[in-house]
Every structure is written in C-alpha cells, then in structure tokens.
Amino acid sequence: MKAESGEEEFESEEGEELAMEEEEQANEEEEFKSEEEEKQANEEEEFKSEEEEKQANKEEKKVQEGEQDNLAQSLRTRCEQHPWHNNG
C-alpha cells in the first residue's frame, strides 16, 4: 500500500510538472503573440504617420504654390496699375 501511495504521489508530481510546463509554454506563446501584435501595430502606426506627413507636405506645397501664384498676380496687377507702367 505504501508503494501505491508513493506511486500516486510520483504521478501527481509528474502531472503537476507537466501542467506547469504547458502553462509556461502557453505564457511564452502569448507573450510572443503580444510582442508580434505590438510590433505590427507600431509598424502600421509608423507607416500611417509617414503617409500623413507626406500628405501634409503635399498640401503645404500646394498652399505655397498657390500663395506664390497669388503674389505674382498681385504684383502684376500692381505694376499694371502703377503710373510709370502706362507712361512707358
């Protein structure tokens, strides 16, 4: 009977050890998955930020070009209205 008790205790310890190993493996897999998801999210955020910056730069360039066109037109109009322009 003592042998059976010792055997059951051994099987119980072995089962606990196996359960702990499985839990540890599951934790490692979850940690890896979390790290991969975080890495993916960071890459997507970085790409999104770069795209937003490119778009903002395009819009700023358009505004600057528009301002230059407006300035050129304004100067042209002023020159045409200036007295020395008509007196040639």
pLDDT digits (tens, 9 = 90+) for 23-39: 999 999 999 999 999 99
* Confidence (pLDDT) at 83: 80
Please state, in angstroms and rounded to a whole number, the distance separating the CA atoms of residues 39 and 47. Answer: 12
* Confidence (pLDDT) at 59: 92
Contacts of 85 (CB under 8 A, 6+ apart): 79
Domain ranges of the chain: 2-87
3 or 12, which is more confident: 12
* Confidence (pLDDT) at 9: 73
